[in-house]
Amino acid sequence: MEGPQDLGGKMGFGPISPEPETEEPLFHAAWEPRVLGVTLCCGALGYWSLDGMRHARESLPPATYLSASYYQIWAYALENMLIANGELSEEELRLGRMRAPGRAQSKKLPAAKVPTVLRTGGPTLRETGAEPGFAVGDRVRTRNMHPDGHTRLPSYARDKTGTITARHGCHVLPDSNAHGRGEQPEWLYTVNFDGRTLWGDDGDPNVTVSIDAWESYLDHAE
Amino acid sequence: MSADHDHPHGHDHSHENAYDPMTARVRALETILVEKGLVDPAAVDAIVETYESRVGPQNGARVVAKAWVDPDYRAWLEEDATAAINSLDISGRQAEHMNAVFNTPETHNVVVCTLCSCYPWAVLGLPPVWYKSPPYRSRVVMKPREVLAEFGLVLPAETTIRVWDSTSEQRYLVVPMRPAGADHMSEDELAALVTRNSMIGTGLPKTPGAV
């Protein structure tokens, strides 16, 4: 979806004002690390995939998304996902106390399992036996698509011609997985575009931009 | 939590007034989830502690320093970055599938995630605020040379800039060039030259005299 998250090439956000690397704290408020930890714990309950949670974040109202900090976006999306899955109610949030016990208690992540969970992560590579449709060096054109749901093809890189520079095996397709429609793994490629292809005469001729694109995002090009 | 208790002393304040709205909101959420038996607060503590003290850019710095001193390791990193990085006991969440990209005198690499904030957590730790913010995500794919200048990294017009938009589970580590004057240094000393921003591509390593 072309929601507020689809930021590549958008204008008006002003210059970068990075905090000096040596002075930047890991967190900027005491509630931020709690949001990080609670979100990861709730992921273990099994209601959603990481793709699904990304979609919940990008589905926040644009004005909310663009005015919220990163961990605010996480907190709002987590509340919405817990409510959507029947593990939390608006009333509970308003009261600040439980009205009904959790349903997925058996999946609660115990502290002892945290090191293993973080070290394992969630690999998305899948063996499918599917033949790849493209080879390194192939010219490809990204599809002109505007799905309502989650996708990893940014709008600035749609309907553009580039070159495959790497193949990464078959990976879980976020466009499907985010919506509970299964992993549907597809070949994943790095596609490299010239700056002028993406941005016309406003592009820097000495810049290239790569994206990682699933097979169903691509067609052969001359 | 006592927001609904009686107030015989004649006022209607909330006992959460001491907290700013986000603090109150997140405290309420965590409290409810713990009461419900869905979240173990000790697990939250363990997650936070991991990223506060064990997983950070020092991991990536070890990878870069090793690539600087060991040509075989560098070749492995180029061929299969995930395996080469895992061999240093660095692995896990948000770095399951890694790619290393190498700066040269002609080409500078820089990493972004325009669609969210994909970043190699296990290798570089949690991303900095600017990496997650609209000004960086919107502009670095279109005007990377200007953006890098705002970080103090001024590249000549003839240097090619390769921008890697991490639009998927592939995560990127920039391997900067080894700084001049560092020929005599050990791997550990070299790792101390490697800044986080140099591994994202918005900076360069420190020079030996500046450590």
The closest alpha carbon to B38, from A152, A39, A172, belongs to A39
User: Residues in chain A with pLDDT < 50?
Assistant: none
Find residues 67-126 of chain A whose CB sits inside 8 Å of chain B.
69-70, 72, 75, 78-79, 82, 87-88, 92-93, 95-98, 100-102, 104-105, 108-111, 113-115, 117-125
What is the average pLDDT across B145-173? 95
pLDDT in tens, A99-131: 999 999 999 999 999 999 999 999 999 999 999
The predicted pLDDT at position B4 comes to 43
C-alpha A34/C-alpha B42 separation (Å) is: 11
Residue B210 is predicted with a pLDDT of: 64
Strands A207-214 and B107-112: unpaired
- Please report, as a single letter, which amino acid is at residue A134: F
CA A40, A46, A51, A57 torsion: positive or negative? negative
pLDDT band at residue B159, thresholds of 50, 70 and 90? very high
Q: Which residues of chain A does B143 touch, with a Cβ-Cβ cutoff of 8 Å?
A: 204
- Model's pTM, two decimal places? 0.94
Closest approach of A204 to chain B, Cα-based (Å): 7
CA dist A157 to A11, A210, B137, Å?
16, 9, 14
CA A16/CA B147 separation, integer angstroms: 7
Longest CA–CA span in chain A (Å) reads 61
Residues B60-76 have a mean pLDDT of 98
Assess B58–A contact: CB distance below 8 Å, yes or no.
no
Separation in Å, CA of B1 to nearest CA in chain A: 7
Residue B46: is its pLDDT beyond 50?
yes
Q: Which residue has the higher pLDDT, B2 or B30?
A: B30
pLDDT of residue B74: 98
Distance of CA B72 to the CA centre of its chain: 26
Q: Tell whether the model's pLDDT for residue B14 goes beyond 80.
A: no
pLDDT at res. B7: 44
Q: How many other CB atoms are there within 10 angstroms of residue A59's CB atom?
A: 16
**Nearest-Cα residue of chain A relative to residue B198:** A21
What was the pLDDT predicted at B17?
58
Q: How far is A219 from chain B (nearest CA, A)?
A: 18
Strand (E) or helix (H) holding B30 = helix B21-35
- Contact pairs from chain A to chain B, CB under 8 Å: 284
| A137 close to B (CB below 8 A) | no
Whether the predicted pLDDT of B69 surpasses 50: yes
Q: What is the pLDDT of residues B17-27, one digit of tens each?
A: 578 999 999 99
Residue B15, chain A, CB below 8 Å: the answer is: no
With the CA atoms of A179, A157, B129 and A85 taken in that order, what torsion angle do they form, in degrees rounded to the nearest 10? -10
Whether the CA torsion B3, B4, B6, B12 is positive or negative: it is positive
A46: exposed, middle or buried (Cβ count in 10 Å: 0-12, 13-18, 19+): exposed
What is the ipTM metric for this complex? 0.97
User: Which one of B5, B23, B30, B36 makes the best mutation probe of the A interface by having the most chain A beta carbons within 10 Å?
Assistant: B36
Contact B87, B74 (CB under 8 A): no
pLDDT value for A217: 98
Mean predicted lDDT score pLDDT of chain B: 92
Task: Provide the pLDDT for residue B18.
Answer: 76
Instruction: Kindly report the nearest CA distance between residue B85 and chain A, in angstroms.
Output: 13
Residue B167's pLDDT is what?
A: 79
Angle, vertex CA A120, rays to CA B83 and CA B27, nearest 5 = 140
Instruction: Kindly determine whether residue B126 and residue A26, on different chains, have CB atoms separated by under 8 Å.
Output: yes
Considering CB atoms only, which of A36, A54, A168 is closest to B47? A36
Q: Which of B54, B60, B62 is nearest to B191 (CA)?
A: B62
Of the candidates B30, B129, B168, the beta carbon closest to that of A171 is on B168
Catalytic residues of B: 113, 116-118
